[in-house]
Amino acid sequence: MPAVFGPRPVLIIFPLFNSGMKITYGLNLNLPCTVDGWPQASITWILPNGVVLDKPQTIGRISFFPNGTLQLRQMATFDKGTYICKASNSFGSSALSYPVTVMVFPPQITSTMTSITRAYRGSPVMLKCVATGIPKPDISWTLPGRTTLVPHSRYTVQGGIHMTEEGSLVIQNPVLMNSGIYKCNAKNALGTDFKSTYLQVV
């Protein structure tokens, strides 16, 4: 009886990603995998850590949909690596690799902060601190007495000092004892940045 041969499945990917994929930390990523061939091919995804998904399912932040697409939600640095889509039928198999890079950036304080800031007794003063980075940096302030303020906390001394949701430091009623060095700190998983100013209350 003569052997029967047929075409192995063909992977059709739109768009084509020839140089890999770059995705910003925290965003979602969809990796398509469309197959053309008969008999109908089954799709398997192989993750960078070696885990094999051989049927549509959801595991944590990863979903393998019936149409062949693999979705990764809230990408993190440890999600980088090569994702392999493999299509197989009785005549053979085809595979496509997606090299994925997760983009992250260390914090950088972009707001201007002078070396000396002058404030007047009894007049509210705001020290602004704006920082960029991926993941989004956490902002904190170090006061002259080395006390650290973070969002949602309120530290009251003479003069009423607190931090806003946006990262600014507010001294509601400055007095002479509030004079000193105030340091803004920006921190994420990649590092830290800081700027400081000497507040002179007159």
One domain, residues 76 and 125: no
CB-CB contact of 179 with 201 (8 Å): yes
One domain, residues 167 and 109: yes
Whether the predicted pLDDT of 2 surpasses 50? no
Q: Is residue 127 part of a domain?
A: yes
**Residue 71: per-residue pLDDT:** 97
CB-CB contact of 159 with 178 (8 Å): yes
Give me the chain's average pLDDT, please: 87
User: Could you list the residue range(s) of the whole structural domain that residue 191 is in?
Assistant: 105-201
One domain, residues 59 and 87: yes
Picking from 41, 74, 103, the residue at the C-terminal end of a domain is 103
Cα–Cα nearest to 187, from 157, 145, 142: 142
CATH number of the CATH domain containing 44: 2.60.40.10
One domain, residues 98 and 116: no
Q: Which two tokens stand for residue 161?
A: 């000092």
Cα–Cα nearest to 178, from 147, 138, 140: 147
Q: Is residue 1 part of a domain?
A: no
CB-CB contact of 125 with 117 (8 Å): yes
One domain, residues 69 and 26: yes
pLDDT in tens, 21-46: 899 999 999 999 888 877 888 999 99
Q: Which two tokens stand for residue 193?
A: 């940045």
Q: Which two tokens stand for residue 73?
A: 């939600």
Amino acid identity at 180: G
Averaged pLDDT for residues 139-165: 76
One domain, residues 97 and 109: no
Q: Is residue 165 part of a domain?
A: yes
CB-CB contact of 134 with 106 (8 Å): no
pLDDT in tens, 93-136: 888 899 999 999 999 999 999 999 999 999 999 999 999 999 99
Cα–Cα nearest to 71, from 105, 27, 101: 27
Structural domains of the chain, count: 2
Picking from 43, 68, 103, the residue at the C-terminal end of a domain is 103
Whether the predicted pLDDT of 174 surpasses 80? yes
Residue 81: is it exposed, middle or buried by C-beta count within 10 angstroms (0-12/13-18/19+)?
A: middle
Residues contacting 201, CB < 8 A, separation 6+: 119, 120, 121, 174, 175, 176, 178, 179
Averaged pLDDT for residues 83-98: 88
**Residue 112: per-residue pLDDT:** 92
